[in-house]
Amino acid sequence: MFELDFRALQELIRSQRAKVYEKFKRHVSINDLLSDRWETAEFYGFGEGTSCYNNVLILGDVRVGKNTWIGPNVVLDGTAGLEIGDHCSISAGVQIYTHNTVNWSTSLGVDSTETAPTKIGNGVYIGPNSVIQMGVTVEDKSVIGAMSFVNKDVPRNSKVFGCPARPAPLK
What does the pLDDT read at residue 74?
98
- Amino acid letter, residue 133: Q
What does the pLDDT read at residue 6?
83
What does the pLDDT read at residue 134?
98
* Averaged pLDDT, groups of 10, the chain, 171 residues long: 73 90 86 88 97 96 98 97 98 98 96 97 98 98 98 97 86 63
What does the pLDDT read at residue 2?
54
Does the domain at residues 37-163 carry the CATH identifier 3.30.450.20?
no
What does the pLDDT read at residue 126?
98
pLDDT in tens, 96-141: 999 999 999 999 999 999 999 999 999 999 999 999 999 999 999 9
71 Cβ neighbours under 8 A, 6+ residues apart: 53, 89, 90, 91, 92, 93, 94, 128
What does the pLDDT read at residue 110?
96
> Is the sign of the CA dihedral 5, 57, 145, 158 positive or negative?
positive
CA–CA separation, 49 and 52 (whole Å):
10
What does the pLDDT read at residue 33?
83
Q: Quick count: other Cβ atoms within 10 Å of Cβ 29? A: 13
Q: Quick count: other Cβ atoms within 10 Å of Cβ 113? A: 13
CB 153 within 8 A of CB 161: no
Domain boundaries, the chain: 1-34, 37-163
What does the pLDDT read at residue 35?
84
What does the pLDDT read at residue 4?
60
- Amino acid letter, residue 132: I
